[in-house]
Amino acid sequence: MAGLLTQSFVFFIMSSSDYFATAPTGLELLLVQELEGLGAHAVREARGGVYFSGSRQVAYRACLWSRLANRILLPLARFQAADADALYAGVRQIDWLLHLDTAATFAVDFVSSRSTLTHTLYGAQRVKDGIADHFRARQGSRPSVDTTRPDVRINVHLDRDEATVSIDLSGDSLHRRGYRLDGGKAPLKENLAAALLLRAGWSRILAEGGSLLDPMCGSGTLLIEAAWMAADQAPGLLREYYGFIGWNQHDPALWAALCEEARERARAGQGRVPLIQGFDLDARVIRMAEDNLRRAGLAGVVRIGQQSALAARPSGQTGLILVNPPYGERLGEQPQLADLYAGFGQTLKQHFTGWRLGVFSGNPELVFRLGIRAQRYYRLYNGPIECRLFNFDIETARFFTPKHAGETAPPPVPDSPLMQQVQQRIQAGGGALMFANRIRKNLKTLGRWARQEGVTCYRLYDADLPEYAVAVDVYQGETCEVVVQEYQAPASVDPRKAEERLIDALAALPTVLELPLAQIHFRVRRRQKGAAQYEKLAEAGRFQVVTEGGHRFRVNFEDYLDTGLFLDHRLTRQRVQSLARGQRFLNLFAYTGSATVYAIKGGAVSSTTVDLSRTYLDWTARNLELNELGGSGHELIQADCLAWLHTAWQERRCYDLIFLDPPTFSTSKRMEATLDIQRDQIDLIRQALRLLATDGVLIFSTNCRKFRLDVEHLPDSVVKNISQQTLPRDYARNPRIHQCWEIRHGG
């Protein structure tokens, strides 16, 4: 991008490989992922859309294949325009002969926000004047204006008195696919429908061989978008008009090749469309849906019919129900709508166990009438209406019965006095603004890093603000769950003040993270001693599966202080995996065996996993099963590690790679002695080293904040501190979270 000082203002010429894709609010993150999949690079979210870079082919692919974008813009120039004269002057400086000629037609879309010039029609007129006068000065004539279907559509966005002038390569909003002529009374835009399908998990359901049902299908938009995704149909293939067709820099051969490729993919994908069906009570909209299906090339592929949603029945063992039920005036007043939702909830409970459900509604209180607890929700907009997509697993345990027909409260949250206070604070519109802003900031930075690195479980916040001494961990599995741990406040802090701040912080999280309070789990983090080290907190017995490093692990958010996966050891586990090929591996104080999973995945020829807890060994076994690991060469041993090390030495056991991650302090009725890691470190390490092969590696780690390794008492060993190398980025603000060493035999 080059800067030119002209007529007392700075004028920037934009790079021809940089683009901006506009999108409805709430779709930006999905659009980032989509554009990256289309070959774009330097992709980043912005207000109202996504910036990206790429070749002309990438821009054409975005126009043809984006299911989510509204428009693909090619920015030409950016300059200050505090008034209409500055706007005119800036537009006139652009070399318009590169983009259209006098025989072409053009139109101008002008949008202003937070700027001095607010009159959009006047702003558009001054842009037209600048273009016309540019041509008159250089060509003696000017192109004509065509507001309906111009050869070139020009987009001008004025924000904070800075104008960005772009060529609209899409020409018309990309949500207009070409199959829908009339959307009915409350049309769902096509790109919003595509976003709902993606957020509801349609891609995963497709991969599992499931079907799709929309029992209130209206004009069939969800059905068509779902079928096109399944068939690999480019959403722009039916469109006859694009903004680049009449553009001077258009490459017709490239565009023709991309369209032919898309047609071939669509032909190949027709046979991959699973059972997709929709119903509606309104015969008129069913006829409309039939017309839309015919134009979309899906007549006979997607099944539709006139039927009540309450009469819906499953057509297979599994699938997705995605529905956009009425939440306004289409069916009358609230009582009638409440009855509809309640009746549909009963249909789901009686007939659709095992299915997934997505409900898109502008009225969360009505969704509550379904009588089922949501896994999570997403905030999206249907035009100007703020709505939410609620995702559910239809399981008997998730259903509840509202107390009475008029009840509109949200589903119950954990019934501790603290969480009840949090619920009251949320209902009162409370929450810590400073804390919320920091969470938003971290979501942008750490959230982007996590997506780029494929990290689905990470620490989002760790006492970044002294006033809010909590840690916030995100676990993204089938649902998004958040674990909040409060650090024990020092005696100098007023307990009542600390509790008020905690309630404010917890009340802010559901709004910022767009999660129901039931998916936010709270713990008090204080030094654990004795039997309290792994003390059970509840008996819910609900587990979820998350992915880390391509491996799958069971986690529990309710029953224990820890979830079953120590996130700060992410890089340590990767180190174990990188060293494990062809090695005999020993995992001491194994907890739930995550390091064992990494070692076997890394190619360990055998493994021994030792822990005193039968619960955690069973958990380890389940983790191995999840990853299709195990066998005769991989043993799980329930034993006191201190006693077992002595027995193993007598048995002449030998290991090439040992992972030793003991608790800071531990005792149990089944233990022969207590363990204090600061006091007992040398004896423990020496016993482990007796089992280590001559050229083997012992990885020793501890989370004891005050720990000091007594290297002087390991004179025959080579000790390397790898704490910094094993510190993940999301824990960088707290470098003492753990300490880690590699220890080898000397000589």
Predicted local distance difference test score (pLDDT) of residue 339: 84
Angle between helices 221-231 and 283-295 (to 10 degrees): 30
Give the residue from 435, 538, 450, 522 showing the smallest Cα distance to 487: 522
Judge if 360 and 435 occupy the same domain.
no
- Within-domain flag for 239: no
In the Cβ-directed half-sphere of 278, how many Cα atoms lie within 13 Å?
A: 33
How many domains does the chain divide into? Answer: 4
Q: Are residues 619 and 581 in the same domain?
A: yes
Q: Does the residue 182 lie in any domain?
A: no
318 and 357 together in one domain: yes
Residue 404 lies in a domain: no
Q: Cβ atoms within 10 A of the Cβ of 308, count?
A: 15
* Domain extent for 114: 2-168
For residue 316, give the CATH number of its domain: 3.40.50.150
Query: Is residue 553 within 8 Å of residue 546, measured between CB atoms?
Result: yes
Q: Which residues contact 27 (CB under 8 A, 6 or more apart)?
A: 68, 191, 192, 195, 380
How far is CA 19 from its chain centroid? 23
Same domain, 206 and 142: no
**150 and 279 together in one domain:** no
**Angstrom distance (rounded) from CA 489 to CA 155:** 55
Amino acid 657: pLDDT:
97
Together in a domain, 574 and 705? yes
Residues in the chain, how many? 747
Where do runs of H (alpha helix) occur along 394-466?
417-427, 433-453
Examine residue 580 and state whether it is found in any structural domain, yes or no: yes
In a domain, 445, yes or no: yes
| Residue 481, phi-psi category: left (phi > 0), alpha (psi -120 to 50), beta (remainder) | beta
User: Are 612 and 740 in the same domain?
Assistant: yes
Query: Does residue 299 belong to any structural domain of this protein?
Result: yes
Kindly report the three-state secondary structure assignment for every residue of 117-168.
CCCHHHHHHHHHHHHHHHHHHHHCCCCEECCCCCCEEEEEEEECCEEEEEEE
Domain identity same for 445 and 394: no
CA 671 to each of CA 430, 531, 618, 638, 668: distance values in angstroms, whole numbers, following the listed order? 48, 11, 19, 12, 5
Q: Are 288 and 219 in contact (CB under 8 A)?
A: yes
- Cβ 199 vs Cβ 378: under 8 Å: yes
Residue 405's pLDDT is what?
Answer: 40
Question: Nearest CA to 273 among 303, 315, 295?
Answer: 303
Closest Cα partner for 132 from 86, 182, 97, 92? 92
Q: What is the mean pLDDT of each run of 10 residues along the chain (747 residues)?
A: 43 74 90 94 88 95 97 95 94 94 95 89 95 95 93 94 95 94 70 96 93 95 97 95 95 97 94 94 92 94 94 90 78 65 93 95 85 84 84 89 46 55 70 87 91 91 90 88 85 79 88 84 59 45 84 88 92 96 96 96 95 91 90 90 92 96 72 74 93 96 90 91 95 90 89
Do residue 627 and residue 735 come from a single domain? yes
Strand runs (DSSP E) across 270-318, as ranges?
A: 276-280, 303-306
Beta strands 655-660; 634-638: pairing state: unpaired
Give which of 517, 508, 520, 519 is closest to 436, Cα–Cα. Answer: 508
Which DSSP helix (H) or strand (E) runs through 77? strand 71-80
- Please answer whether residues 571 and 726 qualify as being in contact, where contact means their C-beta atoms are separated by less than 8 angstroms: yes
Whether 450 and 327 map to the same domain: the answer is no
Residues 6+ apart with CB under 8 A from 369: 338, 341, 342, 345, 402
Q: By C-alpha distance, which of 630, 585, 590 is closest to 612?
A: 590
CATH number of residue 497's parent domain: 3.30.750.80
Segments of 532-680 assigned E as strands:
544-548, 551-555, 584-588, 606-611, 634-638, 655-660, 665-666, 675-676
On whether both 509 and 563 belong to a single domain, the answer is no
Task: Answer for the pair 574, 598: CB distance below 8 angstroms, yes or no.
Answer: yes
Name 540's Cβ contacts closer than 8 Å, sequence gap at least 6. Answer: 556, 558, 559
Note whether residue 532 is domain-resident: no
User: 317 and 215, same structural domain?
Assistant: yes
542 domain residue, yes or no: no
Q: For residue 6, give the CATH number of its domain.
A: 3.30.2130.30
Note the pLDDT of residue 413.
43
Quick one: pLDDT at residue 1? 41
Other residues' Cβ atoms within 10 Å of the Cβ of residue 177: 24
Question: What angle is formed at CA 347 by the lines to CA 346 and CA 348, rounded to 5 degrees?
Answer: 90
Tell whether the torsion through CA atoms of 235, 237, 240 and 245 is positive or negative: positive
What phi, psi does 125 have (nearest 5°)? -65, -40
Sign (positive/negative) of CA torsion 659, 660, 663, 669? positive
pTM comes to: 0.59
